[in-house]
Amino acid sequence: MKLAEALSLRADLQRRIAALRERLKKNARVQEGDTPAEDPMELLAELNADTDDLEGLMASINLTNCETFTVWEDSRLSLTELIAIIRESGQDPVTQLSGYLITEDPIYLPEGTEARAIARRVGRDKLLETLIDLYIRYCPATGTPSDS
């Protein structure tokens, strides 16, 4: 599925979820003795299924964006792959990348892997710029990519 299709599907799911929430609210409260126009349990099941679909789609979109936006021009490796190399060496990516970014000392990156060579090619500034760009694009305050 192409990114544009996924984004369109995401918008459709978000609209559908909003409509289901409204329908559920209307049908959840009825006077004693009355019957709701729609079964609230069926609406809830449908809402849960759509929410699960949206969550999976969002994870897929974010992964695609992360891979797309972080491939450095002078390296075939992405930030995601650099993090994977650090994890595979048994080290914590947050601790190791933080140490490297603060000191610019490659000793924080696993020896005998591509991580040190990548860090030298890409450079501390570009790595930091990429991390900040990703944080701004996928800010936890909104949970969605920005349009910029």
Express each pLDDT in 104-147 by its tens digit: 888 898 888 888 887 887 888 888 887 887 777 766 555 455 44
* Six-digit token string for 88: 């595979």
Q: Which helix (H) or strand (E) holds 136?
A: helix 124-137
Please report where in the chains the tokens 């964006």 appear, as a residue: 65
Distance CA 13, CA 3 (A): 15
pLDDT number for residue 148: 44
Q: Read off the amino acid at residue 106.
A: P
pTM score above 0.85: no
Distance CA 147, CA 137 (A): 8
